[in-house]
Amino acid sequence: MNISLNFLKPAEHTKEIEDAEIVKKKYRYWRIRIFYTMFIGYVFYYFTRKSFTFAMPALMQDLGFNKAQLGMLGSMLYITYGLSKFASGVMSDQSNPRFFMAIGLIITGITNICFGLSSSLVFFAIFWGLNGWFQGWGWPPCARLLTHWYSQSERGSWWSVWSTSHNVGGFLIPIVAGFCAQHWGWRWAMFVPGTLCICVGFLLMNRLRDTPQSLGLPSIEKYRQDYPNKEAVNVKEHELSTRQILFDYVLTNKWIWMLAVASFFVYVVRMAINDWSALYLIETRGYSMIKANSCVALFDIGGLFGMLTAGWLSDKLHAGRRGPINVMFSLGMLCAVLVLWKYPDLNGLWTFITLFTIGFFLFGPQMLIGLAAAELSHKKAAGTASGFAGWFAYFGAAGAGYPLGKVAQEFGWPGYFVILSVCCVITLVLFLPMWNAKAGTIKESAAS
């Protein structure tokens, strides 16, 4: 059984090039081209995901909607996006990422334009829900490409650099959408990102390719002599069926479940810090809104450095094992959260440093969870495995909203920090058994 459409099916393998110099030259060229293309592509996925956020103030003023009504649209996107993360992962693992990622980006551009042409809350909900679904088409093909073009001992570094595309997109879209909304109105804050993403979607079709074997190159493991285990040396790659992906490598894989549950608790902490820490600093420390929001900005900047550091360390110090870094970073996350809670008299500089440190230690495991899920399943199930973990993450994001707000309301900020501390401890406990887990733990027999 294979659920991908014919025009999306993976590219066929071609005859392998025998000249080692040509192989080396082509690999060098294509690895760079594949990487910068999917990096740019995911930056623009953020354009159509976050455009509404920065068009919202002008939209409210123009059409008279209230915060609750527009808040429902944000919930609609997260619900459909969360559902899509898993479903599109299964589809992506049986598709050509060159077209899968491109088509998803083009459709998100179209939904943004349709949103900008609408004035009814019902149509807003329909188009934003569709946008959320096709947003899920961005991550899984990148997971497929990263596992096919970059081998285990280097993949952490490549994956972490690619993950900064989130930050680049998140940095640029407020500027683009804000400029459009201020000068031309909120509809143009939807039209311009939508149009740009349609254009970039066609760029992805032109620049991306599927597996190295589809270009006559050997597998990345053979090229770099970097196999996950001895058995993998003699395994010939071919695509997996939906049943094999789901039941041989994901749903029956204990590591994937542990990573998914860890992802849930990491996201509770992430969204709690992101959404509630500014209010905490204003209420308990008397910070101005600008100063409190600046502290939250340091949280994201710390996260960027944390992702890069975690990926590099897991490659260089632990030969591609992600478990030790996840354990050490989750311990650091716990300690930093406790400092924010137990030392309320820290001056402004130390508060900045504390939020930066929480971000540093939190975003490392957040990034490595997706990478570890891809590696501890099967390279042909990378999108499904990482999408499954991402699916759980959005349950955690939801838990950091109303439920955590209710805890803070009923039990005060100490109750809020107890929840965060417990989440950090559970994450640490879940990572401990995975200290020695690495790619190749799951045998590749089903693909041979």
Final residue before a domain boundary, out of 197, 226, 255: 226
Q: What is the pLDDT of residue 250?
A: 83
Residue-level pLDDT at 234: 54
Residue type, 155: R
* Most confident stretch, 61-65, 316-320, 398-402, 412-416: 412-416
Of 200, 226, 252, the domain-final residue: 226
Whether residue 236 lies inside any domain: the answer is: no
385 and 358 share one domain? yes
- Do 270 and 173 belong to one domain? no
66, pLDDT greater than 60: yes
Q: Is the pLDDT of residue 289 over 80?
A: no
From the number of C-beta atoms within 10 Å of its C-beta (0-12, 13-18, 19+), residue 339 rates as middle
Q: Please indicate, yes or no, whether residues 197 and 286 belong to a single structural domain of this protein.
A: no
pLDDT recorded at residue 230: 58
When pLDDT is averaged across residues 418-435 and rounded to a whole number, the result is 95
Is 237 a domain residue?
no
Q: How far is CA 97 from the centre of its chain?
A: 16
Are 30 and 170 found together in one domain? yes
Final residue belonging to a domain, choices 226, 261, 281: 226
Q: Within this chain, do residues 288 and 194 fall inside the same structural domain, yes or no?
A: no
Q: In this predicted model, what pLDDT tens digit does every residue of 120-145 receive, in sequence order? A: 989 999 999 999 999 999 988 998 99
In a domain, 78, yes or no: yes
Mean pLDDT of the chain: 86
CB-CB contact of 378 with 442 (8 Å): yes
- The yes-or-no verdict on residue 448 having pLDDT over 50 is no
Predicted pLDDT of residue 439: 65
The span from the first CA to the last CA of the chain, in angstroms, equals 17
Residues 143 and 285 in one domain: no
Q: Look at residue 337 and tell me whether its pLDDT is greater than 50.
A: yes
Res 75 pLDDT > 80:
no
| pTM, full prediction | 0.80
Residues 315-343: what's their mean pLDDT? 91
- Give pLDDT, residue 15: 92
Q: Judge if 197 and 275 occupy the same domain.
A: no
Once rounded to an integer, what is the mean pLDDT over residues 280-309?
Answer: 85
Whether residue 430 is predicted with pLDDT greater than 80 in this model: the reply is yes
Task: Label residue 445 by pLDDT band (50, 70, 90).
Answer: very low
Q: Is residue 351 scored above 50 in pLDDT?
A: yes
| pLDDT level of residue 444 (50, 70, 90 thresholds) | very low
**Over 60: is that where the pLDDT of 2 sits?**
no
Please report whether residue 1 resides in a domain. no
**Is the domain of 337 the same as that of 270?**
yes
The dihedral over CA atoms of 150, 152, 154, 157, expressed in degrees to the nearest 10, equals 90
Q: In this predicted structure, what is the pLDDT of residue 436?
A: 85
Q: Do 126 and 257 fall within a single domain?
A: no
Check which CATH number belongs to the domain holding 215 and give it: 1.20.1250.20
Q: At what angle do helices 382-399 and 348-375 cross, to 10 degrees?
A: 140
CA distance 232 to 221: 9
Asked if residue 316 is part of any domain, the answer here is yes
Lowest-confidence region among 239-248, 253-262, 298-307, 346-355: 239-248
Residues 202 and 279 in one domain: no
Domain that holds residue 34: 6-226
Least confident range from 121-130, 368-377, 392-401: namely: 392-401
Residue percentage of the chain with pLDDT more than 90: 43
More confident residue, 252 or 187: 187
Whether 335 is in a domain gets the answer yes
Same-domain check for residues 220 and 259: no
Helix (H) or strand (E) holding 41: helix 20-63
pLDDT at 417: 94
Q: What percent of the chain has pLDDT over 70?
A: 93
Shared domain check, 275 and 181: no
How does residue 266 score in pLDDT terms, banded at 50, 70 and 90? very high
Domain annotation covers residue 234:
no
pLDDT of residue 306: 92
pLDDT tens sequence across 177-235: 888 888 899 999 999 999 999 999 999 999 999 999 999 999 998 999 887 665 555 55
DSSP per-residue string spanning 240-307: PPHHIIIIIIITT-HHHHHHHHHHHHHHHHHHHHHHHHHHHHHHHH---HHHHHHHHHHHHHHHHHHH
Structure confidence at residue 446 as a pLDDT band (50, 70, 90): very low
**What pLDDT sits at residue 39?**
97
Q: How many domains does the chain have?
A: 2
pLDDT band at 236 (very low <50, low <70, confident <90, very high): low
Contact 327, 258 (CB under 8 A): no
Q: Would you say residue 353 lies in a domain? A: yes
